[in-house]
Amino acid sequence: MNGRPPVTADDLDHAVQLAVAALREVPVTAWDGNAGTLEWTCWETVEHLADDLFAYAVQLGPRTPPQDREVPFAYESRRPGGPANSVHADRAAGPDGLLQVLEAGGALLVAMVRTTPPQVRSHHVFGASDPEGFAAMGIVETLVHTHDIAEGLGLTWDPPAGICSRVLARLFPDAPAGTAPWPALLWCTGRAGLPGRPRPATWRWHGAPPV
């Protein structure tokens, strides 16, 4: 761990529960509008987030996790330009059903992070990662996509500094020093600029466990 506090399954569970609570404030009429500056709707963005959490969970699922590709679930977009997901929520279940799908996807990843031995590695395009890394990735997806939705609708979303700090230390070794953790994470994920640092046009995290 190189002296840094680890990212834990409890961190992931807390982030997902906070996101679900925040997203309950989305007006019923807003779900088909765009999520902030994204080209996806708010509904599609939550589906994508649930799909991310599911995909990270199943990546840790096989007894011998894949080292060169994702577990081959089929992914499809429901419309041109929409996210390609394995997970889709039943529209007839409404927003409550959508958030239940999100919570369930988060619970799957929480369970896999808690039960997978820390020495296990599985493929990710940004570097083969361990259970802690997949937990951190799931947290980043949860925090920033909830931000995308909240920003577009003027909702309050200010996740805990401790979780943001631990995720930055795990995935973003070049994060700007001397900046509060949440603004730094928004900068690292291309969501915002910082004083003297324009908003990045491209970004990535480093999923491989530190040596």
Residue 17 has pLDDT above 60, yes or no: yes
- Using 50, 70 and 90 to split pLDDT, how confident is the model at 3? confident
Answer yes or no: are the C-beta atoms of 163 and 14 closer than 8 Å: yes
Residue 74 has pLDDT above 60, yes or no: yes
Has residue 39 been placed in a domain?
A: yes
Has residue 68 been placed in a domain?
A: yes
Answer yes or no: are the C-beta atoms of 103 and 23 closer than 8 Å: no
Task: Look up residue 181 and give its two tokens.
Answer: 């953790």
Domain that includes residue 49, residue range:
9-188
Burial of residue 68 (CB within 10 Å: 0-12, 13-18, 19+) is exposed
Has residue 138 been placed in a domain?
A: yes
Has residue 49 been placed in a domain?
A: yes
Has residue 70 been placed in a domain?
A: yes
Task: Look up residue 179 and give its two tokens.
Answer: 């900046």
Question: Residue 2's pLDDT is what?
Answer: 67
Residue 1 has pLDDT above 70, yes or no: no
User: Which alpha helices (H) appear in 37-130, and where do they start and end?
Assistant: 42-59, 94-115
Whether the predicted model's global pTM rises above the 0.85 cut: yes
Mean residue pLDDT of the chain comes to: 96
Helix axes 42-59, 131-153, angle to 10 degrees: 180
Number of domains in the chain: 1
Has residue 197 been placed in a domain?
A: no
Residue 208 has pLDDT above 80, yes or no: yes
Instruction: Write the CATH number for 158.
Output: 1.20.120.450
Has residue 1 been placed in a domain?
A: no
Answer yes or no: are the C-beta atoms of 140 and 185 closer than 8 Å: yes
Has residue 88 been placed in a domain?
A: yes
